[in-house]
Protein backbone atom coordinates (compact mmCIF):
# COMPACT_ATOMS: atom_id res chain seq x y z
CA UNK A 1 0.00 0.00 0.00
CA UNK A 2 1.08 3.64 -0.49
CA UNK A 3 1.70 5.67 2.64
CA UNK A 4 -0.29 8.93 3.16
CA UNK A 5 -2.52 8.17 0.20
CA UNK A 6 -6.12 7.09 -0.12
CA UNK A 7 -4.96 4.04 -2.09
CA UNK A 8 -4.62 1.39 0.62
CA UNK A 9 -4.93 -1.61 -1.65
CA UNK A 10 -2.22 -4.27 -1.21
CA UNK A 11 -0.85 -5.35 -4.59
CA UNK A 12 -0.04 -9.03 -4.68
CA UNK A 13 2.02 -10.82 -7.31
CA UNK A 14 2.52 -14.56 -7.11
CA UNK A 15 5.43 -16.04 -9.04
CA UNK A 16 4.17 -19.53 -9.86
CA UNK A 17 6.69 -20.35 -12.57
CA UNK A 18 7.11 -24.16 -12.46
CA UNK A 19 10.78 -23.68 -13.35
CA UNK A 20 11.54 -22.15 -9.94
CA UNK A 21 14.24 -24.21 -8.22
CA UNK A 22 14.22 -24.84 -4.48
CA UNK A 23 17.13 -23.14 -2.75
CA UNK A 24 17.86 -20.92 -5.76
CA UNK A 25 18.33 -17.17 -5.24
CA UNK A 26 16.14 -14.87 -7.35
CA UNK A 27 16.07 -11.07 -7.72
CA UNK A 28 12.82 -9.13 -7.94
CA UNK A 29 12.23 -5.44 -8.67
CA UNK A 30 9.03 -3.41 -8.77
CA UNK A 31 8.65 -0.45 -11.13
CA UNK A 32 5.51 1.66 -10.70
CA UNK A 33 4.09 4.79 -12.33
CA UNK A 34 2.28 7.53 -10.40
CA UNK A 35 -0.70 9.58 -11.56
CA UNK A 36 1.64 12.11 -13.15
CA UNK A 37 3.16 9.34 -15.30
CA UNK A 38 6.43 9.52 -13.37
CA UNK A 39 8.22 6.17 -13.20
CA UNK A 40 9.53 4.96 -9.84
CA UNK A 41 11.96 2.02 -10.08
CA UNK A 42 12.29 0.38 -6.66
CA UNK A 43 15.55 -1.21 -5.44
CA UNK A 44 15.83 -4.91 -6.28
CA UNK A 45 15.29 -7.46 -3.50
CA UNK A 46 16.80 -10.91 -3.28
CA UNK A 47 14.65 -13.90 -2.33
CA UNK A 48 15.64 -17.51 -1.74
CA UNK A 49 12.93 -19.82 -3.03
CA UNK A 50 12.22 -22.41 -0.35
CA UNK A 51 15.23 -24.06 1.21
CA UNK A 52 18.25 -25.65 -0.41
CA UNK A 53 17.68 -29.33 -1.11
CA UNK A 54 19.65 -31.99 0.75
CA UNK A 55 22.60 -33.61 -0.98
CA UNK A 56 23.38 -35.93 1.93
CA UNK A 57 22.53 -36.67 5.55
CA UNK A 58 24.86 -38.08 8.19
CA UNK A 59 23.43 -40.22 11.00
CA UNK A 60 25.18 -41.23 14.19
CA UNK A 61 24.28 -42.46 17.67
CA UNK A 62 26.13 -42.46 20.99
CA UNK A 63 25.16 -44.26 24.18
CA UNK A 64 25.98 -41.87 27.04
CA UNK A 65 24.30 -40.36 30.09
CA UNK A 66 25.97 -36.92 30.20
CA UNK A 67 26.08 -35.72 26.59
CA UNK A 68 25.98 -31.99 27.29
CA UNK A 69 28.45 -32.14 30.17
CA UNK A 70 30.91 -34.59 28.75
CA UNK A 71 31.11 -34.95 24.96
CA UNK A 72 32.70 -32.98 22.13
CA UNK A 73 31.43 -34.39 18.81
CA UNK A 74 32.68 -33.49 15.32
CA UNK A 75 31.46 -34.84 11.96
CA UNK A 76 33.41 -34.16 8.81
CA UNK A 77 35.99 -35.11 6.20
CA UNK A 78 39.77 -35.24 6.33
CA UNK A 79 41.75 -36.57 3.37
CA UNK A 80 44.78 -37.35 5.57
CA UNK A 81 42.84 -39.43 8.08
CA UNK A 82 43.92 -36.96 10.75
CA UNK A 83 41.24 -34.41 11.77
CA UNK A 84 43.55 -32.92 14.40
CA UNK A 85 41.98 -30.32 16.64
CA UNK A 86 38.81 -28.38 15.97
CA UNK A 87 39.06 -26.48 12.68
CA UNK A 88 41.90 -28.50 11.15
CA UNK A 89 39.86 -30.97 9.08
CA UNK A 90 39.07 -30.40 5.40
CA UNK A 91 35.42 -30.03 6.37
CA UNK A 92 33.57 -30.46 9.65
CA UNK A 93 30.56 -29.49 11.74
CA UNK A 94 30.09 -29.69 15.48
CA UNK A 95 27.62 -32.21 16.80
CA UNK A 96 24.53 -30.95 18.59
CA UNK A 97 23.69 -31.50 22.23
CA UNK A 98 20.69 -33.30 23.69
CA UNK A 99 18.35 -30.49 22.68
CA UNK A 100 19.37 -31.02 19.06
CA UNK A 101 19.06 -34.81 19.03
CA UNK A 102 16.47 -36.55 16.89
CA UNK A 103 15.50 -39.13 19.48
CA UNK A 104 16.81 -41.26 22.33
CA UNK A 105 16.04 -44.64 23.83
CA UNK A 106 16.94 -46.40 27.08
CA UNK A 107 18.99 -49.46 26.19
CA UNK A 108 20.28 -50.89 29.48
CA UNK A 109 19.89 -50.15 33.20
CA UNK A 110 22.80 -49.08 35.35
CA UNK A 111 24.95 -52.03 36.43
CA UNK A 112 25.54 -52.86 40.13
CA UNK A 113 27.90 -50.42 41.85
CA UNK A 114 26.40 -47.27 40.38
CA UNK A 115 28.78 -46.81 37.44
CA UNK A 116 26.90 -45.68 34.34
CA UNK A 117 27.97 -47.19 31.03
CA UNK A 118 25.61 -45.17 28.88
CA UNK A 119 22.12 -46.46 29.41
CA UNK A 120 20.59 -43.95 26.95
CA UNK A 121 21.30 -44.23 23.22
CA UNK A 122 21.09 -40.78 21.57
CA UNK A 123 20.47 -40.36 17.82
CA UNK A 124 21.41 -37.38 15.67
CA UNK A 125 21.19 -36.44 11.98
CA UNK A 126 23.11 -33.72 10.13
CA UNK A 127 21.83 -32.52 6.75
CA UNK A 128 24.10 -31.07 4.04
CA UNK A 129 23.29 -28.96 0.96
CA UNK A 130 25.36 -27.65 -1.93
CA UNK A 131 25.74 -24.41 0.01
CA UNK A 132 27.89 -26.28 2.56
CA UNK A 133 30.57 -26.89 -0.08
CA UNK A 134 30.58 -30.67 0.37
CA UNK A 135 30.01 -31.73 -3.24
CA UNK A 136 33.53 -33.12 -3.71
CA UNK A 137 33.24 -35.36 -0.63
CA UNK A 138 30.59 -37.78 -1.95
CA UNK A 139 30.51 -40.66 -2.01
CA UNK A 140 32.64 -41.42 1.07
CA UNK A 141 35.88 -43.04 -0.13
CA UNK A 142 39.59 -43.27 0.69
CA UNK A 143 40.22 -39.89 -1.02
CA UNK A 144 37.33 -38.30 0.90
CA UNK A 145 36.93 -40.21 4.17
CA UNK A 146 34.22 -39.09 6.61
CA UNK A 147 34.84 -39.22 10.34
CA UNK A 148 32.89 -39.19 13.59
CA UNK A 149 35.07 -37.74 16.35
CA UNK A 150 33.99 -38.14 19.99
CA UNK A 151 36.06 -36.70 22.83
CA UNK A 152 34.82 -37.92 26.22
CA UNK A 153 35.66 -35.42 28.94
CA UNK A 154 35.61 -37.83 31.83
CA UNK A 155 32.47 -36.82 33.69
CA UNK A 156 32.40 -38.67 37.00
CA UNK A 157 31.60 -42.38 36.62
CA UNK A 158 30.23 -42.00 33.08
CA UNK A 159 31.42 -44.08 30.13
CA UNK A 160 30.11 -43.97 26.59
CA UNK A 161 30.20 -45.83 23.29
CA UNK A 162 29.56 -45.00 19.63
CA UNK A 163 26.77 -47.25 18.41
CA UNK A 164 26.35 -46.24 14.73
CA UNK A 165 27.65 -43.99 11.94
CA UNK A 166 26.22 -43.87 8.42
CA UNK A 167 25.70 -41.47 5.51
CA UNK A 168 22.80 -41.23 3.05
CA UNK A 169 23.85 -39.63 -0.27
CA UNK A 170 21.14 -38.36 -2.62
CA UNK A 171 21.54 -39.10 -6.33
CA UNK A 172 21.13 -35.33 -6.85
CA UNK A 173 19.93 -32.51 -4.53
CA UNK A 174 16.52 -33.35 -3.12
CA UNK A 175 16.30 -36.48 -5.26
CA UNK A 176 13.74 -39.25 -4.77
CA UNK A 177 16.56 -41.80 -4.55
CA UNK A 178 20.01 -42.35 -3.08
CA UNK A 179 22.52 -44.71 -1.46
CA UNK A 180 23.20 -45.42 2.22
CA UNK A 181 26.82 -45.97 3.29
CA UNK A 182 27.98 -47.35 6.61
CA UNK A 183 31.28 -47.30 8.43
CA UNK A 184 33.31 -50.52 8.19
CA UNK A 185 34.95 -49.84 11.57
CA UNK A 186 35.46 -52.81 13.86
CA UNK A 187 34.61 -53.43 16.60
CA UNK A 188 31.22 -51.80 16.94
CA UNK A 189 30.03 -50.42 19.28
CA UNK A 190 33.25 -48.44 19.84
CA UNK A 191 33.93 -47.39 23.42
CA UNK A 192 34.90 -43.78 24.09
CA UNK A 193 37.94 -42.93 26.20
CA UNK A 194 37.53 -41.17 29.51
CA UNK A 195 39.71 -38.21 30.42
CA UNK A 196 39.18 -35.71 27.62
CA UNK A 197 42.56 -36.45 25.97
CA UNK A 198 42.19 -39.39 23.56
CA UNK A 199 39.28 -39.17 21.10
CA UNK A 200 37.38 -42.12 19.68
CA UNK A 201 37.34 -41.70 15.88
CA UNK A 202 35.19 -43.75 13.52
CA UNK A 203 36.03 -43.49 9.81
CA UNK A 204 33.95 -44.12 6.73
CA UNK A 205 35.83 -45.86 5.22
CA UNK A 206 38.56 -47.14 7.48
CA UNK A 207 41.93 -47.28 5.71
CA UNK A 208 42.52 -48.53 3.07
CA UNK A 209 39.19 -49.95 1.94
CA UNK A 210 36.01 -48.29 0.73
CA UNK A 211 32.87 -47.40 2.64
CA UNK A 212 30.31 -50.16 2.85
CA UNK A 213 27.27 -49.65 0.66
CA UNK A 214 24.38 -51.16 2.57
CA UNK A 215 21.18 -50.03 0.86
CA UNK A 216 19.61 -48.16 -2.05
CA UNK A 217 16.48 -46.16 -1.30
CA UNK A 218 13.96 -44.45 -3.57
CA UNK A 219 10.44 -43.05 -3.67
CA UNK A 220 8.26 -42.83 -6.77
CA UNK A 221 4.86 -41.23 -7.32
CA UNK A 222 2.33 -43.52 -8.94
CA UNK A 223 -1.42 -43.21 -9.52
CA UNK A 224 -2.67 -41.88 -6.17
CA UNK A 225 0.17 -43.37 -4.11
CA UNK A 226 3.87 -43.06 -3.36
CA UNK A 227 5.87 -46.28 -3.61
CA UNK A 228 8.77 -46.58 -1.15
CA UNK A 229 11.46 -49.12 -2.08
CA UNK A 230 14.57 -50.03 -0.11
CA UNK A 231 16.98 -52.73 -1.28
CA UNK A 232 19.75 -54.05 0.96
CA UNK A 233 23.13 -54.82 -0.56
CA UNK A 234 22.77 -58.27 1.00
CA UNK A 235 19.93 -60.09 2.70
CA UNK A 236 19.66 -59.67 6.48
CA UNK A 237 17.40 -62.39 7.92
CA UNK A 238 15.01 -61.01 10.50
CA UNK A 239 15.47 -57.36 9.49
CA UNK A 240 12.41 -55.13 9.75
CA UNK A 241 11.68 -51.59 8.55
CA UNK A 242 9.80 -48.54 9.86
CA UNK A 243 8.65 -45.78 7.48
CA UNK A 244 8.55 -42.08 8.40
CA UNK A 245 7.15 -39.12 6.45
CA UNK A 246 7.16 -35.32 6.66
CA UNK A 247 6.40 -32.34 4.44
CA UNK A 248 9.92 -30.96 5.17
CA UNK A 249 13.35 -32.55 5.28
CA UNK A 250 13.65 -31.66 8.98
CA UNK A 251 14.10 -35.03 10.66
CA UNK A 252 12.46 -33.76 13.83
CA UNK A 253 9.12 -33.24 12.04
CA UNK A 254 8.82 -36.82 10.83
CA UNK A 255 5.77 -38.94 11.58
CA UNK A 256 5.73 -42.72 11.82
CA UNK A 257 3.59 -44.33 9.12
CA UNK A 258 4.06 -47.93 10.28
CA UNK A 259 2.95 -48.54 13.89
CA UNK A 260 4.77 -51.88 13.82
CA UNK A 261 8.02 -52.55 11.91
CA UNK A 262 7.41 -54.44 8.67
CA UNK A 263 9.41 -57.42 7.33
CA UNK A 264 11.58 -57.59 4.21
CA UNK A 265 10.96 -59.89 1.27
CA UNK A 266 14.48 -61.23 0.94
CA UNK A 267 16.70 -58.16 0.61
CA UNK A 268 13.87 -55.86 -0.58
CA UNK A 269 11.30 -53.76 1.28
CA UNK A 270 8.30 -52.01 -0.33
CA UNK A 271 5.67 -49.75 1.19
CA UNK A 272 2.76 -47.93 -0.49
CA UNK A 273 1.73 -44.59 1.02
CA UNK A 274 -1.85 -43.96 -0.15
CA UNK A 275 -2.53 -40.98 2.16
CA UNK A 276 -0.94 -38.40 -0.14
CA UNK A 277 -2.20 -35.30 -1.95
CA UNK A 278 -1.29 -34.06 -5.41
CA UNK A 279 1.15 -31.17 -5.51
CA UNK A 280 2.46 -31.71 -1.96
CA UNK A 281 6.18 -32.45 -1.56
CA UNK A 282 6.76 -35.37 0.80
CA UNK A 283 10.01 -36.50 2.43
CA UNK A 284 10.52 -40.10 3.50
CA UNK A 285 12.89 -42.03 5.77
CA UNK A 286 13.14 -45.75 6.41
CA UNK A 287 14.77 -47.09 9.56
CA UNK A 288 16.09 -50.64 9.34
CA UNK A 289 16.47 -52.73 12.48
CA UNK A 290 18.51 -55.92 12.10
CA UNK A 291 17.81 -59.06 14.09
CA UNK A 292 20.71 -58.25 16.45
CA UNK A 293 19.08 -54.92 17.38
CA UNK A 294 21.37 -52.60 15.40
CA UNK A 295 19.68 -49.91 13.32
CA UNK A 296 20.48 -47.54 10.48
CA UNK A 297 18.48 -44.74 8.84
CA UNK A 298 17.91 -44.16 5.12
CA UNK A 299 16.82 -40.86 3.58
CA UNK A 300 15.38 -38.39 3.26
CA UNK A 301 14.16 -38.80 -0.30
CA UNK A 302 11.65 -36.35 -1.72
CA UNK A 303 8.78 -36.84 -4.15
CA UNK A 304 5.76 -34.72 -5.17
CA UNK A 305 2.72 -36.71 -6.30
CA UNK A 306 0.93 -35.11 -9.21
CA UNK A 307 3.81 -32.72 -9.94
CA UNK A 308 3.77 -31.32 -13.46
CA UNK A 309 6.49 -32.02 -16.00
CA UNK A 310 8.87 -29.11 -16.53
CA UNK A 311 12.47 -28.25 -17.42
CA UNK A 312 14.19 -25.55 -15.37
CA UNK A 313 16.45 -22.98 -17.06
CA UNK A 314 20.07 -24.17 -17.16
CA UNK A 315 22.27 -22.75 -14.46
CA UNK A 316 24.37 -20.85 -14.85
CA UNK A 317 23.18 -19.21 -18.04
CA UNK A 318 25.25 -17.81 -19.81
CA UNK A 319 27.50 -20.89 -19.68
CA UNK A 320 31.25 -20.44 -19.45
CA UNK A 321 32.65 -23.75 -18.20
CA UNK A 322 29.64 -25.99 -17.73
CA UNK A 323 26.03 -26.04 -16.59
CA UNK A 324 23.41 -28.07 -14.75
CA UNK A 325 20.05 -28.97 -16.28
CA UNK A 326 17.24 -29.95 -13.89
CA UNK A 327 13.81 -31.21 -14.86
CA UNK A 328 10.82 -33.11 -13.49
CA UNK A 329 8.70 -35.85 -15.01
CA UNK A 330 5.11 -35.78 -13.75
CA UNK A 331 1.87 -37.66 -14.32
CA UNK A 332 0.94 -35.29 -17.15
CA UNK A 333 3.68 -37.01 -19.17
CA UNK A 334 3.15 -40.53 -17.91
CA UNK A 335 0.26 -42.01 -16.00
CA UNK A 336 2.34 -44.94 -14.79
CA UNK A 337 5.57 -46.72 -15.51
CA UNK A 338 8.17 -44.82 -17.55
CA UNK A 339 8.28 -42.41 -20.49
CA UNK A 340 11.02 -41.67 -23.01
CA UNK A 341 12.87 -38.52 -21.95
CA UNK A 342 15.27 -36.58 -24.14
CA UNK A 343 17.34 -33.48 -23.47
CA UNK A 344 19.21 -32.19 -26.54
CA UNK A 345 21.11 -29.08 -27.61
CA UNK A 346 20.79 -27.56 -31.10
CA UNK A 347 22.45 -24.64 -32.79
CA UNK A 348 20.34 -21.91 -34.41
CA UNK A 349 20.48 -23.75 -37.75
CA UNK A 350 18.66 -26.67 -36.13
CA UNK A 351 21.68 -28.98 -36.08
CA UNK A 352 21.93 -31.29 -33.07
CA UNK A 353 25.19 -30.61 -31.20
CA UNK A 354 24.79 -32.59 -27.97
CA UNK A 355 22.54 -35.30 -26.55
CA UNK A 356 22.39 -34.80 -22.79
CA UNK A 357 19.83 -37.49 -22.07
CA UNK A 358 17.83 -40.02 -24.06
CA UNK A 359 16.37 -42.74 -21.84
CA UNK A 360 13.11 -44.02 -20.33
CA UNK A 361 12.43 -42.51 -16.89
CA UNK A 362 9.70 -42.62 -14.28
CA UNK A 363 8.10 -39.77 -12.37
CA UNK A 364 10.51 -37.69 -10.29
CA UNK A 365 13.06 -34.88 -10.36
CA UNK A 366 16.29 -35.31 -12.33
CA UNK A 367 19.57 -33.53 -12.91
CA UNK A 368 22.11 -33.59 -15.77
CA UNK A 369 25.55 -31.99 -15.65
CA UNK A 370 27.06 -30.67 -18.89
CA UNK A 371 30.74 -29.86 -19.38
CA UNK A 372 30.13 -27.40 -22.25
CA UNK A 373 31.35 -29.81 -24.94
CA UNK A 374 29.51 -31.06 -28.02
CA UNK A 375 29.17 -34.62 -29.27
CA UNK A 376 32.67 -34.42 -30.77
CA UNK A 377 34.15 -33.74 -27.32
CA UNK A 378 35.22 -30.22 -28.20
CA UNK A 379 33.90 -27.18 -26.41
CA UNK A 380 31.01 -25.48 -28.20
CA UNK A 381 31.75 -22.14 -29.79
CA UNK A 382 30.34 -19.03 -28.12
CA UNK A 383 26.81 -18.25 -29.23
CA UNK A 384 23.14 -18.99 -28.68
CA UNK A 385 21.86 -22.58 -28.61
CA UNK A 386 18.47 -24.19 -28.00
CA UNK A 387 17.81 -26.78 -25.30
CA UNK A 388 14.89 -29.02 -26.25
CA UNK A 389 13.36 -31.13 -23.51
CA UNK A 390 10.80 -33.82 -24.29
CA UNK A 391 9.04 -36.27 -21.97
CA UNK A 392 6.42 -38.21 -23.88
CA UNK A 393 4.03 -35.66 -25.36
CA UNK A 394 5.36 -32.80 -23.20
CA UNK A 395 8.08 -30.62 -24.75
CA UNK A 396 9.89 -27.43 -23.76
CA UNK A 397 12.49 -25.28 -25.55
CA UNK A 398 14.84 -22.79 -23.86
CA UNK A 399 17.81 -20.70 -24.94
CA UNK A 400 21.31 -21.51 -23.74
CA UNK A 401 23.99 -18.85 -24.17
CA UNK A 402 27.60 -20.04 -24.34
CA UNK A 403 30.33 -17.46 -23.67
CA UNK A 404 34.11 -17.64 -23.86
- Kindly state whether residues 324 and 277 are assigned to the same domain: no
Range of the domain at 204: 54-303
- Kindly state whether residues 324 and 391 are assigned to the same domain: yes
In a domain, 34, yes or no: no
User: Which pLDDT score, from 0 to 100, does residue 49 have?
Assistant: 65
User: Which pLDDT score, from 0 to 100, does residue 180 have?
Assistant: 96
* CA distance linking residue 355 with residue 368, whole number of Å: 11
Total domains in the chain come to 2
User: Which pLDDT score, from 0 to 100, does residue 201 have?
Assistant: 96
- Kindly state whether residues 202 and 322 are assigned to the same domain: no
In a domain, 19, yes or no: no
- Kindly state whether residues 347 and 391 are assigned to the same domain: yes
* CA distance linking residue 327 with residue 329, whole number of Å: 7
User: Which pLDDT score, from 0 to 100, does residue 115 have?
Assistant: 45
User: Which pLDDT score, from 0 to 100, does residue 389 have?
Assistant: 94
In a domain, 333, yes or no: yes
**Residue where a domain stops, chosen among 303, 323, 355:** 303
- Kindly state whether residues 254 and 335 are assigned to the same domain: no
How does DSSP assign 31-90, residue by residue?
Answer: EEE-TT--EEEPPPEEEE-S-PPEEEEEEEEEE-S-HHHHEEEEEEE-TTS---STT-SS
For the beta sheet containing 71-77, the strands, ordered from the edge strand earlier in sequence to the opposite edge, are: 91-94, 71-77, 146-152, 200-204
* CA distance linking residue 201 with residue 77, whole number of Å: 12
- Which CATH number is 327's domain given? 2.60.40.4070
* CA distance linking residue 133 with residue 52, whole number of Å: 12
**Residue where a domain stops, chosen among 272, 287, 303:** 303
- Kindly state whether residues 124 and 182 are assigned to the same domain: yes
Beta bridge partners of 283: 246, 302
Is the whole-model pTM more than 0.85? no
**Residue where a domain stops, chosen among 280, 303, 326:** 303
Average pLDDT by stretches of 10, the chain with 404 residues: 55 66 72 84 77 88 88 95 92 94 78 57 93 90 94 74 93 88 89 88 86 88 88 94 94 93 96 89 94 90 82 87 87 74 92 92 85 91 93 87 90
- Kindly state whether residues 204 and 69 are assigned to the same domain: yes
- Kindly state whether residues 233 and 344 are assigned to the same domain: no
- Kindly state whether residues 398 and 273 are assigned to the same domain: no
- Helices within 237-301 (DSSP H only): none
- Which CATH number is 197's domain given? 2.60.40.10
- Kindly state whether residues 226 and 110 are assigned to the same domain: yes
In a domain, 8, yes or no: no
- Kindly state whether residues 270 and 319 are assigned to the same domain: no
User: Which pLDDT score, from 0 to 100, does residue 43 have?
Assistant: 85
User: Which pLDDT score, from 0 to 100, does residue 114 have?
Assistant: 42
In a domain, 25, yes or no: no
Sequence-distant (6+) residues with CB within 8 A of 172 are: 55, 326, 365, 366, 367
- Kindly state whether residues 262 and 124 are assigned to the same domain: yes
* DSSP 8-state secondary structure symbol assigned to residue 90: S
In a domain, 198, yes or no: yes
Amino acid sequence: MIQNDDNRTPYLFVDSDPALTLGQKYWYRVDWVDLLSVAHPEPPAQVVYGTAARVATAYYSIAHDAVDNDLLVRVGVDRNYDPGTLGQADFEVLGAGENGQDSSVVVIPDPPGGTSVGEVDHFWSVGFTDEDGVGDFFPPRSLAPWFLYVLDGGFVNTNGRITSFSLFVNDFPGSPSGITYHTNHQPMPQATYEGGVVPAIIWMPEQPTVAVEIASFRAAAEAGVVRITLELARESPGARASVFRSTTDDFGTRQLLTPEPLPFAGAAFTFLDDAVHAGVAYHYWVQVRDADGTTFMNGPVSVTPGAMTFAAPPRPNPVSSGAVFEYAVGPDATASGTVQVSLRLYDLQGREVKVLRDAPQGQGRYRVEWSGAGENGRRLAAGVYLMRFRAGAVSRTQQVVVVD
